[in-house]
Chains A and B, each alone.
Chain A
Amino acid sequence: KAGVTQTPRYLIKTRGQQVTLSCSPISGHRSVSWYQQTPGQGLQFLFEYFSETQRNKGNFPGRFSGRQFSNSRSEMNVSTLELGDSALYLCASTGHGVRELFFGEGSRLTVL
């Protein structure tokens, strides 16, 4: 069974640009969550999607947005990038009857 797949794994952007990250959950999982991980703040919850609907949202500015497609794949977008957005963005999926989250390897974003 394939794990959670995130693309791209690494990317470099400049301030003011926007970026889109993609996440393919484990087959059969309908819940997809996104987290930001930085050395200073640790893992922080961004948002969760379930059946194409945003179910939870963390305390991030509106520049951070996401969506989920009918096949459960999810994307997150960050607009008007700032230096502080440099981080590892982790996606996690879970399914019915499964208690733990399964994390992908992450997309490492560097903003210059």
Chain B
Amino acid sequence: GQNIDQPTEMTATEGAIVQINCTYQTSGFNGLFWYQQHAGEAPTFLSYNVLDGLEEKGRFSSFLSRSKGYSYLLLKELQMKDSASYLCAVQNNAGNMLTFGGGTRLMVKP
């Protein structure tokens, strides 16, 4: 089976940095994804990690430690439009099936 945990809610200030953590326990691992989902909209892809280390993409970075079953998403220079839910998902070895965590709702305040 697979279990993925992430905080339910976080609040941060515009212009600041926030780190959203994700821990996972899986029977197989073929990569970890982060998705962003604004209320009432489709999830959109942010990042993918399959090897240990940091992947940087503009204001967003994602880190993976496979030995610890741990990942984080780092958002820099927060903007109001970053208020959304952030979903951590693990791809196991079978096709394109993703197992999602419950999502972290981030509120960015002025």
Q: With an 8 A cutoff between CB atoms, is A24 at the interface?
A: no
Contacts of A33 in B (CB 8 A): 96-98
Residue of B48, B98, B102 contacting most chain A CB atoms (<10 Å): B98
Contacts of B96 in A (CB 8 A): 31, 33, 48, 50, 55-56, 92, 94, 101
Q: How far is the CA of A100 from the CA of B42 in the complex (A)?
A: 14
Residues of chain B at interface, number, CB under 8 A: 21
Contact at B97–A100, with CB atoms within 8 Å? no
Q: What string of 1s and 0s marks CB contacts (under 8 Å) between A48-91 and chain B?
A: 10100001101000000000000000000000000000000010
Count CB-based A-B contacts (< 8 Å). Answer: 57
Contacts of B100 in A (CB 8 A): 35, 42-44
Residues of chain A at interface, number, CB under 8 A: 24
Contact at A43–B87, with CB atoms within 8 Å? yes
Contacts of B31 in A (CB 8 A): 99
Contact at A103–B42, with CB atoms within 8 Å? yes
- Name the CB-closest residue of B to A93: B96
Contacts of A100 in B (CB 8 A): 33, 45, 48
A42-B103, A43-B87 known; A101-B98 Cβ under 8 A:
yes
Q: How far is the CA of A100 from the CA of B35 in the complex (A)?
A: 10
Contact at A42–B101, with CB atoms within 8 Å? yes
- Name the CB-closest residue of B to A47: B97
Q: How far is the CA of A12 from the CA of B100 in the complex (A)?
A: 27
Give 3 closest A-B pairs by Cβ, nearest first.
Answer: A100-B45, A43-B100, A103-B42
Contacts from A to B (Cβ < 8 Å): 4, 31, 33, 35, 42-45, 48, 50, 55-56, 58, 90, 92, 94, 99-106
17 contacts between A and B (CB under 8 A): A4-B42, A31-B95, A33-B96, A33-B98, A35-B100, A42-B100, A42-B101, A43-B87, A43-B100, A43-B103, A45-B98, A45-B99, A48-B95, A55-B94, A56-B97, A102-B45, A104-B42
